[in-house]
Structure 1
């Protein structure tokens, strides 16, 4: 039986098109370790180390907070889910030109949606 953490880890791994073997190699653990984290973490006899958790986040290209599914800061509002937080952190890590391009794209899509609705 998977936990919320296990389901999140699996989803993040699959979104990045990584196999369990590839993620395990990047993190420095075995495939069975990744399987246990995704599918049956409560059955593991040892706790997952901070080093492994940090390596998982790094291999997935996210923060440890994102991996753990921590609640977004109040500044993002109560409706923000973990994917929104990941998107926002990625956005904020872009250079100014790329952020401006994203803003222009969003404005373009909003205008297109308004045209379709009206």
Structure 2
């Protein structure tokens, strides 16, 4: 995923139509802390605890790897969009029977589309 941590954090927050205040409340930090993460992440992220990072990811409904900007899985390629990467990572975290349910649902959608 491209961009700095601050850009990703802001993008995820805005995509969810959350204010800095709402995110701060959900995570248990101050609005100024969120502001610093979005606008001065180089200094702030280094001192941010794993608990806060996990809370940010949970509040935003994203995987920690997506929030941190880890490269997408090779199978998706470098040009995969962020939503596909998040979906793939979420899918990979599912239990086996849940994955099978998703595959069956996808097949039903494909059949409906082909009609």
Instruction: Report the TM-score when normalising by structure 1.
Output: 0.72
Query: Which structure carries more relative contact order (alpha carbon 8 Å, separation 6+)?
Result: 2
Deviations 1:2-23 (A, max 9, x none): x611111011011111111111
CA shift in 2, pair 1:97/1:20, >3 Å = same
Structure whose alpha-carbon radius of gyration is higher: 1
Residue in 2 that maps onto 1:85 = 85
Instruction: Report the TM-score when normalising by structure 2.
Output: 0.74
How far apart in 2 are the matches of 1:14 and 1:107?
A: 35
Residue in 2 that maps onto 1:6 = 6
What is the CA-CA distance between 1:98 and the residue it aligns to? 4.7
CA shift in 2, pair 1:74/1:44, >3 Å = closer
Q: 1:100 aligns with which of 80, 101, 104?
A: 104
CA shift in 2, pair 1:46/1:74, >3 Å = closer
5+ long unaligned stretches in structure 2: none
Deviations 1:66-116 (A, max 9, x none): 11110012122232243321022345549444543344445666x6xxxxx
CA shift in 2, pair 1:45/1:72, >3 Å = closer
How does 1:1-118 map onto structure 2 within 5 Å? 4-44=4-44, 47-91=47-91, 93=94, 95=98, 96-105=100-109
How far apart in 2 are the matches of 1:107 and 1:4?
A: 40
Corresponding pairs, count: 109
